[in-house]
A and B are shown apart, each in its own frame.
Chain A
Amino acid sequence: MEQKNKLQYEIYLLDTICRGLQATLNVDKIIHIVLTGLTAGASLGFSRAALFFVNDSGVLHSGRGIGPFDPEEAKKIWFDLISSAATLEEMFENSHRRTLESQRFPVEIRTVTCETSKLPSDNPLKKTIVNKEIIVLKESEKFLLPEVFHWFVKYSNQIVIAPIKISGKVSAVVLADNAFHNRNITQETLSFLSIILNQAGLALSNAFAYENTKHNLEQLRQLNEKLRQMQEDLLVCERFAAAGRISTYLAHEIRNPLATIGGFARQILEICREKNVDARISRNARIIVNEVRRLELVLNNLLRFSFKQPAKKESLHLKSFLDELLEVLSINIDDSGTNLKVEIPDGLYVFADRVQLGEVIYNIVHNSLESMKPGGSIIIKAGENQKDVWIEVTDTGYGIPEEILGQIFNPFFTTRSHGLGLGLNIVKMIVEENHGGKICINSKVDVGTSVKIIFPKKEENGKENSIDRG
């Protein structure tokens, strides 16, 4: 009768373990089920079990274990188990991490590594791995195990070493013993063990394949995402390229008639001056001249971005240059109700390309006007030292938030709903690349922004200075 009950329990055990193993693809859980199954209840008779993975070089690593470390712990654990009266399924479901980590035995097992390739060929551990067979060591043979296991087998009377095979290769090794109760490990138990470990091999194989597939899928997903992003970027690039071609074409088509309109308007203006005609005609001609000039500055910005043009530098009388340029901007300045103050010393000359310097000042002042509160002011100052000439435009506008200060020179960066975001990029390119100068921006939100551009002076011997941007 007792024999029959034992058999029934063993079949129940086997069935539960196999079902548990089939139901999961989680490596940790598979190990937990195997180790719990081997040590649960009295039927298989193992008091402790440990599982080690074996890598391609034959090194045992990543050990997991279940069971008591010494007789004292054994009493406590078994007492707890009896009083908890948990079923096997419940034990499988219990947080296996807690079981594995809270006691001394699993902790010690975790630290064990062993290079089996260095062991002699008759070493039982090596034989298990090489011959893929289950080996039972008697008390007298237990110290044949490598020294790292001697603490483990101290209380053992019999130790089983068994392989777990994945695709015919030993991928893990289980060590189980009968410490503390010393009940004999039977042939029947070994048969059960073999069945359980075969199932574990299958389950681990599935779990690894699953992990692998998951990993590959994730990689594929990432690659796909990257590809999608690249396609998007390419589309954007194509769009920009097309926009560039269109704008270059348009800019050119518009420049020609603008040059004609502006040129004739200047003639009218001169005739007005010479012949002293109605002041309104002269004013109107001046408006046409200035508006044409403004349009040309906008077009230059567009073309400047499309292709590089070297600077044709000359000594410019800064005060008259700025007076003429600011007249062009005067309509915008008057419209915005901004106070403009220009403080330029009379004898100051800057060595720069006339057209490009015009674009630089236009862009900076234009930005200031765009960020201006009503009744604000713009101050343009200039000065020189031995090597450089500097021009500074300070406004009392909204200022630039610190978090975007690093991006303002990027092409197409803009905080405005209109505009291309090319202005400061062009300013930087003209000042630094074309003139060997430097641009500094200081800004405080709600206080204002100050943009300082520095141009190297022309040296006496005709060579140009350049500024060390260190």
Chain B
Amino acid sequence: MAKKILLIEDEANQRTLYTETLEREGYQVESVSNGEDGLKLLEKKNFDLVIVDIKMPKMSGLETISNILGQRKNLPVIIYTSYPQYKQDFMSWAADAYIVKSSTSLDELVSKVKELIGV
């Protein structure tokens, strides 16, 4: 059974890119464009890991994360964002990993996912 990943990312192109990349690695990925939809999906289905952006419309990544942690305390969370400046503020409590988006950071994302939930 493939491990399930919930991807919360507001940019469609990036959703496609990350989904395809992770699927190539053998994961099952479901993606939504905002935190609210993500939480709804999380109520209905089981996931092994959540990847979430920080700046998103409707509900910010941080609000989303605190809600997720309220529901599923031990669910691994990766913050994947283009804002390097929040790393110190959130890393310690909000997520298991904080990865800054770049053209080469997908490799890092994949290896972090592997490290947290295996293949």
Q: Which residues of A contact B (CB under 8 A)?
A: 252, 255-267, 289, 292-293, 296, 303, 306-307, 309-310, 355
Report whether A263 and B21 are in contact in the complex, using a CB–CB cutoff of 8 Å: yes
* Contacting residues, chain A, for B74 (C-beta < 8 A): none
Q: CA A273 – CA B106 in complex, angstroms? A: 18
Q: CA A307 – CA B83 in complex, angstroms? A: 11
Interface size in chain B (residues, C-beta < 8 A):
19
Q: Which residues of B contact A (CB under 8 A)?
A: 11, 13-14, 17, 20-21, 82-85, 87-88, 100-106
Report whether B84 and A296 are in contact in the complex, using a CB–CB cutoff of 8 Å: no
* Contacting residues, chain A, for B103 (C-beta < 8 A): 258-259, 261-263, 265-266, 289, 292-293, 296
Q: CA A261 – CA B104 in complex, angstroms? A: 11
Report whether A255 and B101 are in contact in the complex, using a CB–CB cutoff of 8 Å: yes
Among the listed A252, A262, A306, which residue makes an inter-chain contact with B102, where contact means beta carbons less than 8 Å apart? Answer: A262
Q: CA A303 – CA B84 in complex, angstroms? A: 9
Q: CA A50 – CA B55 in complex, angstroms? A: 87
* Contacting residues, chain B, for A257 (C-beta < 8 A): 13
* Contacting residues, chain A, for B21 (C-beta < 8 A): 263, 267
Q: CA A292 – CA B21 in complex, angstroms? A: 19
* Contacting residues, chain B, for A266 (C-beta < 8 A): 103-104, 106
Nearest residue (CB) in B for A289 is B103
The 8 closest A-B pairs by CB, nearest first: A262-B103, A259-B101, A255-B82, A292-B103, A263-B17, A260-B13, A307-B85, A256-B82
Among the listed B82, B87, B106, which residue makes an inter-chain contact with A263, where contact means beta carbons less than 8 Å apart? Answer: B106
A212 to chain B, nearest CB (A): 56
Q: CA A309 – CA B84 in complex, angstroms? A: 7
Nearest residue (CB) in A for B15 is A260
10 further interface pairs, Cβ-Cβ under 8 Å (given A262-B104, A263-B21, A303-B85): A252-B83, A255-B101, A260-B17, A262-B102, A263-B14, A266-B106, A267-B17, A267-B20, A296-B103, A309-B84
A130 to chain B, nearest CB (A): 76
Given A264-B17, A267-B20, A267-B21: A259 in contact with B85 (beta carbons within 8 A): no
B18 to chain A, nearest CB (A): 8
* Contacting residues, chain B, for A355 (C-beta < 8 A): 100, 102
Q: CA A252 – CA B21 in complex, angstroms? A: 23
* Contacting residues, chain A, for B14 (C-beta < 8 A): 256, 259-260, 263
A353 to chain B, nearest CB (A): 11
* Contacting residues, chain A, for B102 (C-beta < 8 A): 255, 258-259, 262, 296, 355
